[in-house]
Amino acid sequence: MRVRTYIVAAFLSTAAAPKAMAQSTSLKLPQAAGVSSIHAPPSTSKPATVYGQIRMEGMQYLSVIPESPQLTYSQLLSARLTGLKETSWADFAGDFSGGTFFSRGQSHLVVAEAYVASKGQNFRVFAGRKKKDWSELDRRWQLGLWQPKFAIDALRPEEQGLTGVFADYNTSGWEIVGMATPVFIPSMGPDIREEGGGLVSDSRWYRAPSRNYDFNNNINRIQYQLDIPETAKLVDNGGAAIMGRLGNKEQGPWVVVSGGYLPVNELILRRKNFKAASEEKVDVTVSPDVTHHLIKSVDVGYTLGRVKASLSYLEDDPKEKRPDPEWSIQKLMPIKAYAAALDFSLSDIFTKTLAFQLEYLKIEGGGIQDILSDGKPDDFTMFDERLKFTNALSIRVEGQLASFFRRPFVTRFKYLYDYDQRGSLLSTEFLYYPSQKWALVVGGDVLGVQDENHDPSGFLNQYRANDRFYGGMTYVF
């Protein structure tokens, strides 16, 4: 993986649109052959188990961006490979994905998980990149506070694991996990580059920072320049976390408590301004930096058959960093998040089974303020919000609606409304499986707000022109 390239891409894209699509992964329906989990129980040496998926997709946006008409249509070829190799002394697992946009000549490679695990009945040690359920709230709403995310497309974020050493004692009734890491890999977003004095990207999900600067009541034009530090300075940021579970999440009451001191997955920005008195422009040098936060979360739930209910709380307290003189830096405001969720499924609806999910999220805090070396607020802030949704209700339905020629026809429907933004997001997808390994896919996303003058910097308002539809096919093996 080109870590340096991705870090350059990540730090501005996650600041401009740092809030990933509120997308849950807890709905579980029968899937086509080839879909499996890499978290298998210990066993003796076996042949490697490998699963994969290949997807070809064309996507059309309904509105043209005048300055970037080439971003109206795209073709993406992507693949995912998941593997598990069990030996008599250790297990090796990995989850890799990559893709190529033909029209843009862009490619990406993502490592969601890659680890080696010791053998053991209950106690195991993992080393590498691994996902864990640190927080139901963070996972369901894809906040990226506990675990980083890959989000070149804001409506399709992919959760990534933390990288380090994990000690896990796990039984059906309780679990305790300790994790320590010497390295940091941040959330990733679209590639960013300098062009004509601005910071641009070949992505519909990136919004460039303002080019106007108010200097002595006179609007000056900003000329941006990137200053990327050595990769080692960004990666060399460690942390530690612990998680405990009491009860079985598959049946009866359960509670999960997690806490940690970790790097914030979104890189913060340092900025230095230079103003020539004889010119009506400001030269701005922008550089990424890393800060840590103390993060805590609690999930309480009850599972009864096909019904699962949970209440969640998450809190983070970012560490304030002070920049060098003549520089300013982003100060992240603390977050307090509350959520409730209800998952259930109904059978015998048109002789089929449908899975339902209701979720509510409430966020307090989460702003961004640029500060000077003395800690006082700067008169210019590049981006003012950390999260995408702050007061949202989400409804999701997934299941097989019908059969054609004795083959399943599956639908996925999601509607989200954010009360603070007075806007909504509607996502639909239809899949038809002509065979066990092939699927034809058609879908679309619609974003909108009731008042375009209300909350101009809100996610739904900024990206309301990104209504789109797509179609393609997938093959699993």
Strand spans (E) along 171-306 = 174-181, 193-195, 198-200, 212-215, 218-226, 239-248, 251-263, 268-275, 281-289, 292-304
Whether the pLDDT of residue 16 is over 50: the answer is no
**Span 135-161, mean pLDDT?**
96
CA–centroid distance for 446 within its chain: 19
Question: How high is the pLDDT of residue 12?
Answer: 45
Whether the pLDDT of residue 285 is over 80: the answer is yes
| pLDDT confidence bin for 219, thresholds 50/70/90 | confident
For residue range 222-246, list pLDDT tens digits in order.
Answer: 889 999 898 899 999 999 999 999 9
| Domains located in the chain, CATH noted | 3-476 (2.40.160.10)
For residue range 51-95, list pLDDT tens digits in order.
Answer: 999 999 999 999 999 888 999 999 999 999 999 999 999 999 999
Question: How high is the pLDDT of residue 44?
Answer: 54
Q: What are phi and psi of 374, to 5 degrees?
A: -90, 5
**Span 390-401, mean pLDDT?**
95
**Pairing mode of beta strands 281-289, 218-226:** parallel
Whether the pLDDT of residue 475 is over 70: the answer is yes
Task: Name the CA dihedral angle for 20, 22, 28, 33, rounded to a multiple of 10 degrees.
Answer: -30
CA gap 297, 409 in Å, rounded: 38
| pLDDT confidence bin for 451, thresholds 50/70/90 | very high
SS3 letters across 371-409: ECCCCCECCCCCCCECCCCCEEEEEEEEEEEEEECCEEE
Strand-pairing partners, residue 103, are none
For residue range 294-343, list pLDDT tens digits in order.
Answer: 999 999 999 999 999 999 999 999 999 999 998 999 999 999 999 999 99
